[in-house]
Structure 1
Amino acid sequence: MKIVQLQAENVKRLKAVEISPEGHIVEITGRNGQGKSSVLDAIWWALAGTTHIQAVPIRKGENEARIRLDLGEIKVVRTFRKREDETFTTSIAVESTDGARYPSPQRMLDGLLGALSFDPLAFTRMDGKAQLEALKRFVTGVDFEAIERANKADYDRRTDVNRQVKALRAQASAIVVPADAPAERIDDAALVAELEQAGDHNALIERRRAGRQAVATEVKHMDDEAERLRSNIAALTERLTYLEGAAAEKREQLAKAEALPEAIDTAALRERIADAGRANAALARREERARVEAEATEAEAQSAALTKAIEERVTAKREAIAKAELPVPGLGFGDDEILLDGVPFDQASSAEQLRTSVAIAMAANPKLRVIRVQDGSLLDEEAMRILAEMAQAADYQVWIEVVQSGRSAAIVIEDGAVKGAVQVAQAAE
């Protein structure tokens, strides 16, 4: 499907033009400001939707503009009307050859268009990432955005995990474990129980010693009392006899009492408890260090798993790209750019870049076989020859804008209207 006829009235600088193109190269020429860019814009606006329409599409002094585009199989009419506030409204209608109108005209046209359908030279001016995004449309079955989102999530997660590993390793290395740390924890509770038993034993001895001291004191008091009573033997003989007997009995008890056991040395036991506490603290540090190192090892395993997931997605993407039918042999994907025969696209020659860009535009637009080139004046004779050869070989129609042309078939735009074809004599000048 190509353009059979273009009619445009009051569009930008155009008054009224009617062009029925012939051949594969449709060259629009004329001085700057005469309306040649308006011709190509009219084609673009008729097909590509309102997003691309400029703020003032209607010719100055007019209230209405219209574009009629005959594509053979369908006819497209876009109309612009000026509002009182100088803004505009626009409507579009698409008819088939039998006059039937499409209920969703823009959706129908969007199915014909590709991102590069009108200006492949724009592709050569894109940065590497933009070119890469444009080329991804040829790789089916791969959700590049989902892959990028998943990889970013895993990159971020892996960064967090690696940061955790670093912190855990630093934490583990900061834990100083004494060289004499025991292999097993010492039961200091048993030592404390033993200390308590020793305390009870020693307390009992002290109580018994105090009891014996009390008895000795009592004997002393009895002796004193007996001595005092002896001074009054006559009155206290009976009392004296009793006291002497009682004292004798107590002496016999003391004489027969078993020797007191030796007191337990609790200082040594306390030292053993202190040693057990130090040993257990050292063991606790060893166990803490082992726990932290285990966490670090687990985090490293997580990081490795994330890395593997990222690599697997990248491999799958590369395999899909390798199987894709790209429009140009040798065309491939780099990290942030496209490659041509393994070399970054921007390092290819101008001719290679042009051939590649035009081939991509053609491949992206198999239905509407129309290409627009706005900056045709930048193309030299060799580039124009390449463009013409590719258009003829693939049966495409290229509308190209140039300031000057020596070709007899070029369409001259002057003061918003078609002046005529450039004469060969003019080209010779």
Structure 2
Amino acid sequence: MAVKITQLEAENVKRVKAVQLTPAESGLTVIGGRNNQGKTSVLDAIMWTLGGDKMKPGKPFRDGSMVPPRLWIELSNGIIVERSGDKSTLKVTDANGKKAGQTLLNTFVEQFALDMPKFMSSSSKEKARTLLRVIGLEDKIRQLDQDWQQAYNDRRAVGQIADQKEKYAKELPEYPDAPTEPVSAYELIQRQQAILAQNGENQRKREYASHLEAERDRVGRQLEELKAKYESLCADCETAAKDALDLLDESTEQLEADIQRIDAINEKVRTNQKKRQAMDEADELWEEYEGLTQKLEELRNETRRLLEEAKLPLPGLSVDGWELTYNGQPWDCMSGSDQLKVSTAIVRALNPDCGFVLLDKLEQMDLDSLREFGAWMEAEGLQGIATRVSTGGECSIIIEDGKAVGAEPEFDPEPVPGPAVPEWGDEF
């Protein structure tokens, strides 16, 4: 069962002369009074008594007192904690009368419960880490966050490159009439040489036909002697003449022009290829960008799933980008009462064996918020010992000049002065 404070006695600590307090088992016990009367000194006394020398006030002795501080706290688990004497020696006695020390107190007293302002003034990231540590998700969420950050950086880099590629492609001119592949000068020259060779062969055939005709004329003059040969030559001449008539010379003019402007053609081809390549690369990068965007969303969803399935100390608590949120609101957008409720819930979860928290300066809350906060603590079975600049009926005890002078056990609808009670300080 969570340990709570059942009795407190404090003498000559800071502004406290003598105060005795019996806190309510659950809900708020409000220590009221005007400024500089010793309210916060009561909390400091509890912090020092239970928290050890590291929480010892800088000037613990009350001004003007010849008697050293004396602190005595009884806890619900039967342990008695005392500090007394010139050296404020710690004495811890368990329910069986056995002596112990600070180490025993540290097992069930949460340090943030003694020093709530330390938690509340920590950075939003530290608060989020504390919550994640409480629910056992700090390492998992940190890894998911690192994965998300890496994917985000990768996506940004891919997007920048894709954008550059796209802009570069758009800036390049395009030549629709250019071939899809660079033109080879060697192939054009080979084709030109082939045509020239064919044309030369045609010329040789023409010359050969002319030669046959001349030979035919010569043989004709010798027709009678060489009639047989003449007839044969006539037949050959007729065949050769027919072959010559079917021949058609092909022009190399276009090829010569292409050879002359091959560099310009190929430059257009290369430009078109660069443009297509840049656009293809940009498309691939944008596809990768979309994939990384999906990965970012998946990582966020996994983080949300872990948080939704976790056993949170307060419904509505969550972590968004390493920032603590409550009902969707970040810390600096929460009301003062919500900040206290969130802090109290997290601090309690840090050490469930500690059933109390110390709260200073609750005058920042109006009475409705104070009642609501107190009712929530009572429903949670939490004990809160708090200070408030007030002498109204919401106060459980009034401190005046370092001593308790009055009390009201319940909240009233409107603040009214509590009845006076006899001072008991001299009876310590």
> Is contact 1:409–1:422 with CA below 8 Å preserved after alignment?
yes
> What runs of 5+ residues in structure 2 fail to find an aligned partner?
195-250, 410-415, 421-428
1:44 to 41, 47, 51: 47
Q: How does 1:26-65 map to 2 (within 5 A)?
A: 26-47=29-50, 56-57=59-60, 59-60=62-63
Of 309, 313, 317 in structure 1, the residue corresponding to residue 299 of structure 2 is: 313
Q: 2: distance between equivalents of 1:290 and 1:59?
A: 85
Instruction: Give the alignment partner of residue 149 of structure 1, picking from 146, 149, 172.
Output: 146
Go from structure 1 to structure 2 and tell me whether the alpha carbon gap of 1:59 and 1:290 turns closer, same or farther (over 3 Å shift): farther
Pairing 1:169–2:139 present: no
| Counterpart residue number, 1:238 | none
The 3-state SS of whatever aligns with 2:43 is: helix
When residues 355 and 14 of structure 1 are mapped into structure 2, their CA distance, relative to the original with a 3 A threshold, is closer
Counterpart-to-counterpart distance in 1, 2:90 and 2:291: 54
2:283 alignment partner, SS class: helix
Deviates more, 1:277-286 or 1:63-72: 63-72
Residues 1:282 and 2:258 are matched in the alignment: no
Residue in 2 that maps onto 1:158: 155
Cα contact 1:92–1:106 (8 A) shared by 2: no
Q: Which residue of 1 aligns with 2:6?
A: 4
Is 1:71 aligned to residue 75 of structure 2?
yes
Question: What's the TM-score once normalised by structure 1's chain length?
Answer: 0.62
Aligned mates of 1:275, 1:91 — CA distance in 2: 103
Deviations 1:101-135 (A, max 9, x none): 368468535xx427567659x96x99987876665
Assess, with a 3 A threshold, how the Cα gap between structure 1 residues 177 and 44 changes in structure 2: closer, same or farther.
same
- Map 1:69-218 onto structure 2 (within 5 A): 69-73=73-77, 74-76=79-81, 96-98=94-96, 99-101=98-100, 104=103, 108=107, 112-113=109-110, 115=112, 135-137=131-133, 139-141=135-137, 143-190=140-187
CA contact (8 A) 1:168 1:295 kept: yes
Letter aligned with residue 108 of structure 1: T
After superposition, the CA RMSD in angstroms is 4.9
Question: Per-residue deviation at 1:316?
Answer: 0.7
Residue 160 (structure 1) shift: 1.8
- Whole-Å Cα distance in 1 between the matches of residues 377 and 326 of structure 2? 24
User: How many angstroms does 1:313 deviate by?
Assistant: 1.0
1:421 aligns with 2:367: no
CA contact (8 A) 1:412 1:422 kept: yes
Name the SS for the 2:8 alignment partner.
strand
Instruction: Report what 1:243 is aligned to.
Output: none
Match of 1:4, SS? strand
Q: Which residue of 1 aligns with 2:354?
A: 368
* Post-superposition offset of 1:334: 6.1
Q: Is the 8 A contact 1:118 1:370 kept in 2?
A: no
Change (3 A) 1:282 1:96: farther
Q: What residue identity is the alignment partner of 1:421? A: G
Following superposition, the deviation at residue 59 of structure 1 comes to 4.4
Structure 1: gaps of 5 or more residues: 83-89, 198-264
Mean Cα deviation higher: 364-373 or 93-102:
93-102
* CA–CA separation in structure 1 for the residues paired with 2:127 and 2:153: 26
* CA deviation map 1:255-281 (0-9, x unaligned): xxxxxxxxxx99987643332222222
**Partner Cα separation in structure 1 for residue 151 and residue 128 of structure 2:** 23
Corresponding residue for residue 412 of structure 1: 398
Aligned length: 351
Give the superposition deviation at 1:39. 0.8
Report deviation, 1:2: 0.6
The structure whose Rg is larger is 1
SS of equivalent to 1:371: strand
